[in-house]
Chains A and B, each alone.
Chain A
Amino acid sequence: MNMRLAVGRLGVVDYGVATALQERCVAERTEGGDDVLLLLEHPPVYTLGRGADPRFLGAAAGHDVPIVRTSRGGQVTYHGPGQLVGYPIVDLRNHRCDVRWYVRQLEGVVIRALARLDLDAERCPGAPGVWTRGHKVASIGIAIRRWVTWHGFALNVGGDLAAFEHITPCGLDGVRMTSLAREGVRSSVEDVATVVREEFVDLFGYASWRDLDADASLPGREVWA
């Protein structure tokens, strides 16, 4: 199959705007568009997965940072500047209708990207995400509608790790988050995004990729222009 991928490099996007954009991409994908990979950063926000236990919010509940309940799986996490967020809108029927496989693919993309940046990372059985030296560097939470995926992964490139300390990330007690910067990798979010895009295209087996139409009337474009 000659699969193509459209890649949107969106800069900093408000969480709600990104959600609306994803909804739209999912609808278009369901109607036969190309798979899409959105790469972006969010302004500071705490998000809860659909089934998340609000207790995991911990001290974050009293802060200025907004808290959003989302439709993805998983528990609580934090997004903020310095974190590369990837939202793949992928029709799994063209790949494999297997959510575990898909989660492992996303982990694989991040692990390969980190390997190219000279950072060893690995999976932890039973705890989706990507780990390096016992600390978590990337989180995963996805949603699926008619086998089309949305939501995705969040990779800490730099940014404020202290924001994670107010919550119980992913509902796992004792998880410590880390970032590429803390592990000694000096790369910008932009550079990491390029590597992630290359590994994504390779691992998912796309024949080609193109830039997502930036002039399309995507919702709330002014926010991230």
Chain B
Amino acid sequence: MAVDVVMPRLSDTMEEGTVVKWLKRVGETVEVGDVLAEVETDKATMELEAFDAGVLSEIRVAEGEAAAVGAVIAVLGGAAAERPAKLPAPAEKAAAKEPRAVPATERPVVASPSAQPPVREAPAKPPATVSVPPAATPASPAARTGTAAPLAEGERLRASPRARRLASDRGIDLASVRGSGPGGRVLEQDLDTVSAPGPATPAAVGERRVPLGKIRRTTAQRMAAAAREVPHFYASSEIDVEALVGVKDDLRGRGAEWQRVTVTHLLLKAVGLALRAVPEMNASWADDAVILHETVNIGLAVATDDGLLVPVVRGCDTEPLAELVRRAQGLVERVRSRRIAADDLLGGTFTISNLGMYPVSQFAAVVNPPHAGILAVGAIRATPVVRGKQVVAGQMMAVTLSCDHRVVDGVIAGRFLEALKSRLEEPRTLLE
């Protein structure tokens, strides 16, 4: 019977891998332990070894193409590839009717990255013509080495053939499915509780399916990871921006180079100075340590048609305002014209996300890992304010700081907002 070769999981957090090279061609005979292909993820290539003998009957993922973990990248069919399988069909039917029965033809997925040298030789007979006794299937890695199983590889493979095929068709990673069968075996009905990832879900009538571009996909993965792993807390402050708006308007009258100055530019400088004053906030999480950055480089969340990019304005604490305006304008221009370089996106130590151009009074952003914080800036609102003991018409702006609680605590957030508020409310300090 044909057996699927799937994209191996080389890391707990790996979502897809790329087939960089096929070392066997369709029609070629494969022996146990032969390297079928090399797959790559995160600058690492892994040799994918065969756990089973047979003939490579189909290659589904070409060299250079990516596939999700658990997706079928090839099929190893042995003689079954040429001969329509007679025996496997009933066996599979039986498995479908009686999912709890363990068919004698049950075989594990043929390739695994954990490939220790298999202890047993492959059956000499073409696998499709006989029922392979369970004893001929490679034992779990743990059983073979006698040491602790490094991966849950053995667990992952426990699934009925039908469940395995359905999972592959639906693009479901069996490792993510809790099996209800004996010993945690994944059965067909278990798959119904799992929603399949992207490609397998066709758009219904009245819907349109928009595949993710590279930027959106990266954003999705990083934000999901941040929401999952970063313990967030939030601290907000109301800033009286009457003077700040006055300074911005003054600057705009100072000549050509200042004509396009915005509140965001003033924020860059004010946040830069506040980070200098509270260096604990200018930090990153590094798993086993906190990194305190000596330079203050602020990423600006910029929306593009392709998704969100965060170009980095360097030296926000030391460079004069005019230089920050020039740098920020250059970056935004490069982002919008798609000429941004990797260097422009690297080395950030903090992030600002400004939605002040929309009627957003305040919002909280997701931390941009590994940064300690991100500042979400709302719109400037005309509102009554108390000055002295008088209620007068004023302009206020709400900022919300989202923090990684592993890096900073509430006191640091408070001190940072205090430093920021005083600079924004005394904006002459930004021009020095």
- In this complex, what residue of B is CB-closest to A74? B43
Q: Say yes or no: A100 contacts B42, CB within 8 Å.
A: yes
| 8 Å CB interface, A10-38 against B | 30
Contact with A along B22-56 (1 / 0, CB 8 A): 00000000000000001011111111010000000
Chain B residues with Cβ under 8 A from A111's Cβ?
Answer: 286
Chain B residues with Cβ under 8 A from A174's Cβ?
Answer: 341-344
Q: Is B301 an interface residue (CB 8 A)?
A: no
Q: Is B192 an interface residue (CB 8 A)?
A: no
Q: Is A101 an interface residue (CB 8 A)?
A: yes
Question: A144 and B150 in contact (CB under 8 A), knowing A71-B38, A172-B342?
Answer: no
Contact with B along A155-181 (1 / 0, CB 8 A): 000000000000000001111100000
Complex interface: stretch among B7-15, B254-262, B390-398 = B7-15
Cβ distance B287 to chain A, nearest Cβ, rounded Å: 7
Max chain A CB contacts within 10 Å: which of B10, B342, B343?
B342
Complex interface: stretch among B99-107, B111-119, B319-327, B418-426 = B111-119
| 8 Å CB interface, B388-415 against A | none
Question: A120 and B10 in contact (CB under 8 A), knowing A51-B18, A97-B114?
Answer: no
Q: Say yes or no: B314 contacts A120, CB within 8 Å.
A: no
- B116: which of A50, A73, A102, A146 is its contact (CB, 8 Å)? A146
Give Cα A127–Cα B18 distance, bound, in whole angstroms. Answer: 16
Question: A133 and B43 in contact (CB under 8 A), knowing A50-B21, A144-B113?
Answer: no
Q: Say yes or no: B43 contacts A128, CB within 8 Å.
A: yes
Q: Say yes or no: A101 contacts B11, CB within 8 Å.
A: yes
Cβ distance A108 to chain B, nearest Cβ, rounded Å: 7
Q: Say yes or no: B115 contacts A144, CB within 8 Å.
A: no
Q: Is A126 an interface residue (CB 8 A)?
A: yes
Q: Say yes or no: A73 contacts B11, CB within 8 Å.
A: no
Q: Is B347 an interface residue (CB 8 A)?
A: yes
Q: Say yes or no: B312 contacts A134, CB within 8 Å.
A: yes
Question: A50 and B45 in contact (CB under 8 A), knowing A146-B117, A174-B344?
Answer: yes
Q: Say yes or no: B346 contacts A50, CB within 8 Å.
A: no
Give Cα A7–Cα B172 distance, bound, in whole angstroms. Answer: 43
Q: Say yes or no: A173 contacts B342, CB within 8 Å.
A: yes
Q: Is A81 an interface residue (CB 8 A)?
A: no
Q: Is A145 an interface residue (CB 8 A)?
A: yes
Q: Say yes or no: B346 contacts A124, CB within 8 Å.
A: yes
Question: A134 and B369 in contact (CB under 8 A), knowing A99-B11, A103-B42, A144-B113?
Answer: no
Max chain B CB contacts within 10 Å: which of A72, A97, A102?
A97
Q: Say yes or no: B42 contacts A147, CB within 8 Å.
A: no
Chain A residues with Cβ under 8 A from B287's Cβ?
Answer: 104, 108
Complex interface: stretch among A59-67, A135-143, A210-218 = A135-143
Q: Is B64 an interface residue (CB 8 A)?
A: yes
- In this complex, what residue of A is CB-closest to B145? A93
Q: Say yes or no: A73 contacts B147, CB within 8 Å.
A: no
Q: Say yes or no: A143 contacts B341, CB within 8 Å.
A: no
Give Cα A127–Cα B291 distance, bound, in whole angstroms. Answer: 18
Chain B residues with Cβ under 8 A from A72's Cβ?
Answer: 43, 45
Question: A142 and B314 in contact (CB under 8 A), knowing A50-B20, A120-B291, A122-B286?
Answer: no
Chain A residues with Cβ under 8 A from B46's Cβ?
Answer: 99, 143-145
Question: A100 and B346 in contact (CB under 8 A), knowing A128-B42, A133-B295, A144-B113?
Answer: no
Q: Is B218 an interface residue (CB 8 A)?
A: yes
Cβ distance B296 to chain A, nearest Cβ, rounded Å: 12
Contact with A along B122-147 (1 / 0, CB 8 A): 00000000000000000000000101
Cβ distance B301 to chain A, nearest Cβ, rounded Å: 15
Which size class do A's interface residues fall under? 35 or more
Question: A173 and B45 in contact (CB under 8 A), knowing A98-B10, A133-B295?
Answer: no
Give Cα A16–Cα B117 distance, bound, in whole angstroms. Answer: 27
Question: A51 and B291 in contact (CB under 8 A), knowing A146-B49, A146-B115, A147-B150?
Answer: no
Q: Say yes or no: B40 contacts A175, CB within 8 Å.
A: no
Give Cα A133–Cα B117 distance, bound, in whole angstroms. Answer: 45
Chain B residues with Cβ under 8 A from A122's Cβ?
Answer: 284, 286, 291, 370
Give Cα A108–Cα B117 distance, bound, in whole angstroms. Answer: 31
Q: Say yes or no: A73 contacts B150, CB within 8 Å.
A: no
Give Cα A61–Cα B205 distance, bound, in whole angstroms. Answer: 52
Question: A50 and B342 in contact (CB under 8 A), knowing A97-B150, A97-B151, A145-B47?
Answer: no
Q: Is A123 an interface residue (CB 8 A)?
A: yes
- A100: which of B14, B312, B370 is its contact (CB, 8 Å)? B14
Q: Is B232 an interface residue (CB 8 A)?
A: no
Q: Say yes or no: B314 contacts A134, CB within 8 Å.
A: yes
Q: Say yes or no: B344 contacts A144, CB within 8 Å.
A: no
Q: Is A131 an interface residue (CB 8 A)?
A: yes
Q: Is A125 an interface residue (CB 8 A)?
A: yes
| 8 Å CB interface, A66-101 against B | 71-74, 92-93, 96-101
Cβ distance B217 to chain A, nearest Cβ, rounded Å: 11
- A92: which of B38, B43, B49, B150 is its contact (CB, 8 Å)? B150
Q: Assuming A99-B44, A104-B287, A141-B44, what are 5 further A-B pairs, CB within 8 angstroms?
A: A49-B20, A73-B41, A99-B10, A122-B291, A142-B44
Q: List 25 A-B contacts (CB under 8 A).
A: A49-B43, A49-B45, A72-B45, A73-B43, A73-B45, A74-B43, A97-B113, A97-B114, A97-B150, A98-B11, A99-B10, A99-B11, A99-B42, A100-B10, A103-B42, A104-B287, A120-B291, A126-B222, A131-B347, A133-B295, A144-B44, A145-B46, A147-B113, A147-B115, A176-B343
Residues of B within 8 A of A (CB): 10-14, 18, 20-21, 38, 40-47, 49, 63-64, 113-117, 145, 147, 150-151, 218, 222, 284, 286-288, 291, 293-295, 297, 312, 314, 341-344, 346-347, 369-370
Nearest 6 pairs between A and B by C-beta? A174-B341, A134-B347, A51-B20, A100-B11, A97-B150, A99-B44
